Amino acid sequence: MRRRIEGEDGVVGRLIVTWLLVVALLGVAVVDTVAVLFARFRLADVATVAASAAVSALSRRVGEDQACDEAEEVVDERAPNAHLPRRWCRIDDDGAVTITLRAQASTLVADRIPFTQPFTVVRAEETVRPGGL
């Protein structure tokens, strides 16, 4: 006959449920981390392309405002959810263009929890110099 040790009923079941919860939480954390990294790389790519467009416009002898307008068109086309902070398009004396963008990464959970929201805001700053296309 089997003897049960008192107080150990359902221990294996509770252990399995606990491990499943831990694995689910880790899975969500990994997915959210990958989403933030992907958003960061995508925003950096958009900033580089926008800066390249502005440098190209400057090489055609257009004004700085028009060059930044062309960069803004690229940003609107490739990253419509990107935020353009103040002084987002800067042009140096040597013709180098620096584009700064911000965006909110789309995550499963992290952007819904107040103390993790700052980690979902991605920022990209890219500089392209003339002749460096």
State the DSSP H helix or E strand holding residue 102, giving kind and residue range, or none if neither: strand 97-104
Tokens for 95, please give them.
């013709």
CA distance 47 to 32: 22
DSSP-based three-state secondary structure for 98: strand
The conformation of residue 1, written as its DSSP 8-state character, comes to -
* Residue 100 dihedral angles phi and psi, to the nearest 5°: -120, 125
Q: What is the pLDDT of residues 22-68, one digit of tens each?
A: 999 999 999 999 999 999 999 999 999 999 999 999 999 989 999 99
C-alpha pair distances (Å), 70 with each of 13, 31, 35, 54, 77? 61, 34, 28, 6, 11
pTM for this model (two decimals): 0.82
